[in-house]
Amino acid sequence: MSDVASQAGRVIDAGAIRAGTSNAPGKTAWRIAWGVALVVFVMLWLFGKPVAGWAFDVPRAWRIPVQRWISDAMKWLVDDASFGLFSFTDLTRFLATLVEVPYRLVLGLLSTGIMDGRGSSAQEILPPLSWLAVIGVVALMGYFAGGRRLAFIVGGCFVFLAVFGQWDSAMVTLASILIAVPIGVVGGLLLGLAAFRWRAVDIALRPLLDLMQTVPVFAYLVPILFLFGFGPTSAIVATIVYALPPMTRISLLALKGVPDEVHELGRMTGCSRRQMTWRILVPSAMPGLMIGVNQVIMLSLNMVIIASMIGAGGLGFDVLAALRRLDIGAGFEAGLAIVALAIALDRLSQAFAARRPEHVAAGAGEKNLLARHPYTVAGLALIVAGGLAGLVAAPLQSYPEALQISTGTLGSDLVSWININFFDQLEAVKNALLLNVLIPVKRFLTSLPWVGVTGLLALAGLRLGGWRLALLVSVLSCLIAFTGQWEKAMITVYLCGISVVIASLVGIPIGVLAAGRERLWKFVELVVDTLQTLPSFVYLMPAVMLFRVGDFTAMIAVVAYAVAPAIRYTAYGLRRVDPQLVEAGVVAGATPWQLLTKIRLKLALPEILLGVNQTVMLALSMLVITALVGTRDLGQEVYIALTKADTGRGLVAGLSVAFIAIIADRLISAGANRIRARLGLPEGEGGHR
Amino acid sequence: MTQPSSTTATQDPSAGDGPPKLECRSVWKLFGAGGETYRVDALDAADNAALARAGLVGAVRNVNLGVREGEIFVIMGLSGSGKSTLVRCLSRLVEPTSGEILFNGENLLDASAKRMIEIRRHHMGMVFQHFALLPHMSVLGNVAFPLEVQGVPRAEREARARKMIELVGLDGREAFYPRELSGGQQQRVGIARSLAVEPELWFLDEPFSALDPLIRREMQDEFIRLQSVLRKTIVFITHDFDEAIRLADRIAIMKDGAVVQTGTPEDLVLRPADAYVAEFTRGVSRSKVVRVASVMQPGEPSSAAPSVMENVPVAEAAPLFADGVQELCVTGRDQRPVGRLSRQAVADVMMLG
């Protein structure tokens, strides 16, 4: 079969070459088209307002009242919808119970203790696990998966939680994750399997997954809040919904990555469908699936923190409360606790993903229980011993308060020290940027006519990806305009655009520097990896500490959050350049600078573009969260909708953000693919993570 | 060239009589949109242009083959010649566009999905180019896997798997995982696994192509040894003509989806059907291919002459002339003399290279 594929490949190659040669005369035509379009655009912008006001501001009569439709539909769902035997509300209540019961159990084990009865009359049947036992168990898991070093890291992170008095909140957060992750993983795997088996499911899921991954997280919260009410259950539901799409996508990729021969093996040995799926495909795809599990864990952590807005409690709530009080010290501590938890979970799940089976010496079968399952037995022993010890001595049950350390004053002191000594400098930077860059760009963008912008986007789409892309781009941008979101969308574009430019200006040079230096790259990679595991919430704290609230603070937080892919992809792209080409350059007598600009950067360009694409996606998702520090864009719109539980408003604004993301993603990816094709490089994987 | 005696040249030394075990009658496989419904019966196998006009690729074009019981049938072709697709058609991993595939007289293309599972479970084994070992299972688990799929109880299937592991010389490695083994060892596991169900029909799809040349040679010897014990009916795919010559009882050479020539290695070397086949055989040393039976003369030799089997290559008979012997006694399978081999006839073949 591969023979045929290669033949087909050759045919396509020939086609590409022909297309390449016919491109040359078209170039001038395109240049003229762009010139004409720009002139028309500028004319419209400068002189169009009195003549065609509708081109700047969509008249009220033209607007599509989607917000009202959605809100009405949701109301109908909750109040009237029924499946005959039971109503829609019954269904959501049932789902909520499905999640709530195991959550209460895990929460009881980790934090509150298993209770009998309700309220003040509740009696403790079983105390929660002793903090020592929990640390022991996670350290054991670390030792099992990654040896002594990992045990030390993971155990250390949990000790940190106890010592800094974040234990209880962290356990609440951990309990939510322990419930959300298995459901998310299994659900994603099943969806992935369905999409793998039935092409129709794949085709139906694809755009849905795209949309779900670009809709900002807050927008998820609004309908879930409406359907499930305020509380940890809806937070977990939101987390699952958020973590499903990436798991589905990764499952599908992993399943598609199983070699043809392995499929054939299954058929040649006469596997039934079920045997094929569970004995052959899923085990063979396991390494890929484990990467998905790691992703789900990290996304769940991120979401559980954000979902504190709809009652998740735990560390996220502590950060949120501190942000609202502007209590820098407390927020900083909770933020650090999130970082510790994130690092522990990330390293642990990565180590489990990287584990490969190894043979044991012969005769292992006859050994006793302890020898066969040393880790399970030791873990259970630790839990029992911890529980018994906790009954005797309270400090062994929960970490003694007297020994807690607080950085509370330290954080605040540091900030006030910075603010006292560097206030003028910080203010000067902030004001200079605000006055000279941010505000002019904002004014410029918000004054543009939507008709003109849509036209230019469509032209870019046509040039980069053909008429399909042009159509997609213009329809999405019209939808934003006709739902009355244009002005807020432009503010989003302005903040996102400036943040991306700054992030690229910072990130790409770092990537270039690190790419060629092995030790620096190791260090940068570690930093970037760690930055990417941190939940987005964490980035707000230091920005607010230094610059208080406003657009500038939002921009700093967005840049910090979104810089990682710019660094990573630049370095990857440069490192993946064929060394023979670089050698060819050296032999031709190129200086290092010429090597960089004429060979390495040129060839790494598609990769760098993908990095910028990722930066845009991350910036957009972070931008919505910065609504907390007082921006005026679509994010704020979603946030307001959240506080009012106004589903229509929230979804429309959220979808507008998603549309901006999709437009940017498709245009940049199409551009990257064009360059790739021109350089003769293999087609890259899609821009999504 | 010496005149090969025409009566014995076409005789296949190891083939049994009777109908072929596996027969493939005018099998076509077209790839491309609409390939399933394209009418091929009006089409000449040589007419590639008509297919290209329809936007189709003829991966297998009008192939007719018969594989006899107990023989090693090698399908040789360069990459893109359709040999992999053909072997997948034979096992119905790929659904042929048209034709018939008869296994013990039963047309596989008419078999239901259930019957096909049955046939594959009990009568077919396959070895893959890239081994296709399941990474999460030990050697023992991998070899026992086909039996596990059938629902054979654990103790029994592990006992049988251990026997197969011993057969391929991997005893002591039962608990190892595939990634802990070298390429050659991994393919031994693949071979043991394909033999675990004791199949009548054994497919090997370029089993040694992914191995280093030295290991490849060793595995070929191993394969010859195994076959001398097992006497399976084998369809062996390779792109390496030397490998084909070494292992085959008969070879089918494929080009662009069609079979160019089928015959014993000797046939191909001595009577290539066209320039394409001749190109392959040019570098092959004649003496290693031509069998004694092809160059012997009829008649009784003198009683003192050393004897040689009629089906060994001339190169193996040559050393027997070392002590000034002028003539060899050629014996058939039943050890009875069937002719005599002169020093001159052997020298003629050796001088051809």
Q: pLDDT tens, A141-151?
A: 998 888 899 99
> Mind listing the pLDDT tens digit for each residue in A15-49?
444 444 444 557 788 888 888 888 888 877 777 77
The reply to whether residue A267 touches residue B149, judged by beta carbons under 8 angstroms, is no
Residue B163 scores a pLDDT above 90:
yes
Q: pLDDT tier at B14 (50, 70, 90 boundaries)? A: very low
Residue A120 scores a pLDDT above 70:
no
Contacting residues for B48 by C-beta, under 8 A, at least 6 apart: B58, B61, B256
Q: What is the DSSP letter of B110?
A: G
Q: Counting every residue, how long is chain A?
A: 689
- Residues A382 and A500 reside in one and the same domain: no
Using a CB-CB distance cutoff of 8 angstroms, which residues of chain A are in contact with residue B108?
Answer: none
Q: How many CB pairs under 8 A join A and B?
A: 101
The reply to whether residue A264 touches residue B81, judged by beta carbons under 8 angstroms, is no
Residue B289 to chain A, least CA–CA distance (Å): 30
Cβ–Cβ < 8 Å for A344, A153: yes
A525 vs A517: CA distance, rounded Å: 12
How many domains in chain A? 2
Domain assignment present for A667: yes
Residue range A342-346: mean pLDDT, rounded: 90
> What amino acid occupies position A458?
A
pLDDT at A25: 56
> Mind listing the pLDDT tens digit for each residue in A548-559?
778 888 899 999
Using a CB-CB distance cutoff of 8 angstroms, which residues of chain A are in contact with residue B134?
Answer: 262, 265, 280, 283-284
For A260, name the nearest residue in chain B, comparing CA atoms only: B132
Domain assignment present for A265: yes
Using a CB-CB distance cutoff of 8 angstroms, which residues of chain B are in contact with residue A275?
Answer: 149
- Residues A11 and A96 reside in one and the same domain: no
Residue range A89-95: mean pLDDT, rounded: 83
Domain assignment present for A449: no
Element (H, E) at A656: helix A647-679
The reply to whether residue B126 touches residue A2, judged by beta carbons under 8 angstroms, is no
Residue A4 scores a pLDDT above 60:
no
Using a CB-CB distance cutoff of 8 angstroms, which residues of chain B are in contact with residue A360?
Answer: 175
The reply to whether residue B80 touches residue A264, judged by beta carbons under 8 angstroms, is no
Strand bridging mode B106-107 / B98-103? antiparallel
Cβ–Cβ < 8 Å for B113, A276: no
Cβ–Cβ < 8 Å for A428, A547: no
A232 vs A219: CA distance, rounded Å: 17
The reply to whether residue B134 touches residue A272, judged by beta carbons under 8 angstroms, is no
C-alpha distances out from residue A252 to A57, A197, A249, A349, B278, Å: 43, 10, 5, 20, 48
Tokens of residue A228, six digits: 């499930």
pLDDT at A277: 92
Instruction: Give the closest of A269, A284, A287 to B146, CB-based.
Output: A269
Domain assignment present for A58: no
- Residues A400 and A538 reside in one and the same domain: no
Using a CB-CB distance cutoff of 8 angstroms, which residues of chain A are in contact with residue B149?
Answer: 269-272, 275, 279
- Residues A563 and A433 reside in one and the same domain: yes
Q: Could you tell me which residue, A82 or A518, shows the higher pLDDT?
A: A518
ipTM of the complex: 0.83
Strand bridging mode A123-126 / B258-263? unpaired
Query: Whole domain around residue A586: which residue ranges?
Result: 2-16+426-443+485-679
Chain A contact probe: residue of B31, B179, B237 with most A CBs at under 10 A: B31
Residue A618 scores a pLDDT above 80:
yes
B203 vs B194: CA distance, rounded Å: 9
* Range with the poorest average pLDDT among A270-284, B14-28, B329-343: B14-28
Element (H, E) at A526: helix A518-533
Whether chain B has a CB inside 8 Å of the CB on A280: the answer is: yes
The reply to whether residue A356 touches residue B138, judged by beta carbons under 8 angstroms, is no
> Mind listing the pLDDT tens digit for each residue in A392-421?
777 777 777 777 776 666 667 777 788 788
CA atoms A504, A510, A512, A514: torsion sign? negative
Specify the residue for token string 């003369």: B297
Strand bridging mode B57-67 / A114-116? unpaired
Q: What distance lies between CA A190 and its chain's CA centroid?
A: 21
Residue B188 scores a pLDDT above 90:
yes
The reply to whether residue A360 touches residue B175, judged by beta carbons under 8 angstroms, is yes
> What amino acid occupies position A518?
E
Instruction: Give the closest of B57, B121, B179 to A4, CB-based.
Output: B57
For B132, name the nearest residue in chain A, comparing CA atoms only: A262
pLDDT at B315: 83
What residues of B are in the A interface, CB distance below 8 Å?
31, 57, 59, 79-85, 88, 91, 93-94, 117-118, 120-121, 124-126, 128-132, 134-138, 145-146, 148-150, 175-177, 179-180, 197, 203
The reply to whether residue A8 touches residue B129, judged by beta carbons under 8 angstroms, is no
Whether chain B has a CB inside 8 Å of the CB on A274: the answer is: no
> Mind listing the pLDDT tens digit for each residue in A184-228?
999 999 999 999 999 999 999 988 888 888 787 777 888 888 888
Contacting residues for A665 by C-beta, under 8 A, at least 6 apart: A214, A613, A616, A617, A687, A688
Instruction: Give the closest of B80, B85, B130 to A261, CB-based.
Output: B130
pLDDT at B41: 66
pLDDT at B5: 38
Whether chain B has a CB inside 8 Å of the CB on A3: the answer is: yes
Contacting residues for A198 by C-beta, under 8 A, at least 6 apart: none
- Residues A532 and A634 reside in one and the same domain: yes
Using a CB-CB distance cutoff of 8 angstroms, which residues of chain A are in contact with residue B93?
Answer: 264, 267-268
Give the other-Cβ count within 10 Å of A534's Cβ: 22
Tokens of residue A550, six digits: 């406003």
The reply to whether residue A3 touches residue B85, judged by beta carbons under 8 angstroms, is yes
Instruction: Give the closest of A3, A265, A362 to B175, CB-based.
Output: A362
- Residues A271 and A139 reside in one and the same domain: yes
Using a CB-CB distance cutoff of 8 angstroms, which residues of chain B are in contact with residue A367?
Answer: none
The reply to whether residue B180 touches residue A272, judged by beta carbons under 8 angstroms, is no
Nearest CA among A412, A436, A430, A235 for reference residue A317 = A235
- Residues A647 and A602 reside in one and the same domain: yes
- Residues A439 and A384 reside in one and the same domain: no
Residue A272 to chain B, least CA–CA distance (Å): 8
For B138, name the nearest residue in chain A, comparing CA atoms only: A359
Residue B237 scores a pLDDT above 90:
yes
Q: Is A82 left (phi over 0), alpha (psi -120 to 50) or beta?
A: beta
Chain A contact probe: residue of B83, B122, B134 with most A CBs at under 10 A: B134
C-alpha distances out from residue A29 to A21, A246, A323, A471, Å: 15, 42, 55, 21
> Mind listing the pLDDT tens digit for each residue in A624-636?
888 888 788 888 8
Using a CB-CB distance cutoff of 8 angstroms, which residues of chain A are in contact with residue B82?
Answer: 3
Instruction: Give the closest of B81, B137, B175 to A3, CB-based.
Output: B81
Whether chain B has a CB inside 8 Å of the CB on A268: the answer is: yes
Using a CB-CB distance cutoff of 8 angstroms, which residues of chain A are in contact with residue B125?
Answer: 268
A238 vs A310: CA distance, rounded Å: 9
A602 vs A512: CA distance, rounded Å: 12
Q: pLDDT tier at B239 (50, 70, 90 boundaries)? A: very high
Chain B contact probe: residue of A1, A10, A269, A360 with most B CBs at under 10 A: A269
- Residues A401 and A430 reside in one and the same domain: no
pLDDT at A130: 81
Residue range B4-15: mean pLDDT, rounded: 39
Residue A77 scores a pLDDT above 60:
yes
- Residues A387 and A509 reside in one and the same domain: no
Q: pLDDT tier at B165 (50, 70, 90 boundaries)? A: very high
Instruction: Give the closest of B88, B121, B132 to A1, CB-based.
Output: B88
> Mind listing the pLDDT tens digit for each residue in A297-331?
988 888 888 888 888 888 888 888 887 777 777 77
Element (H, E) at B337: strand B337-342
Instruction: Give the closest of A8, A264, A283 to B136, CB-based.
Output: A283
Domain assignment present for A225: yes
> Domain of A233: which CATH number?
1.10.3720.10
- Residues A281 and A335 reside in one and the same domain: yes
- Residues A395 and A431 reside in one and the same domain: no
Using a CB-CB distance cutoff of 8 angstroms, which residues of chain A are in contact with residue B197?
Answer: 269
The reply to whether residue B175 touches residue A280, judged by beta carbons under 8 angstroms, is no
Chain B contact probe: residue of A2, A265, A290 with most B CBs at under 10 A: A265
Instruction: Give the closest of B59, B91, B135 to A4, CB-based.
Output: B59
Using a CB-CB distance cutoff of 8 angstroms, which residues of chain A are in contact with residue B148?
Answer: 279
> What amino acid occupies position A545?
M
- Secondary structure (3-state) at A442: helix
Residue B4 scores a pLDDT above 50:
no
Domain assignment present for A26: no
Average pLDDT, chain A: 82
Tokens of residue A591, six digits: 């200086």
The reply to whether residue B135 touches residue A284, judged by beta carbons under 8 angstroms, is yes
Residue B302 scores a pLDDT above 80:
no
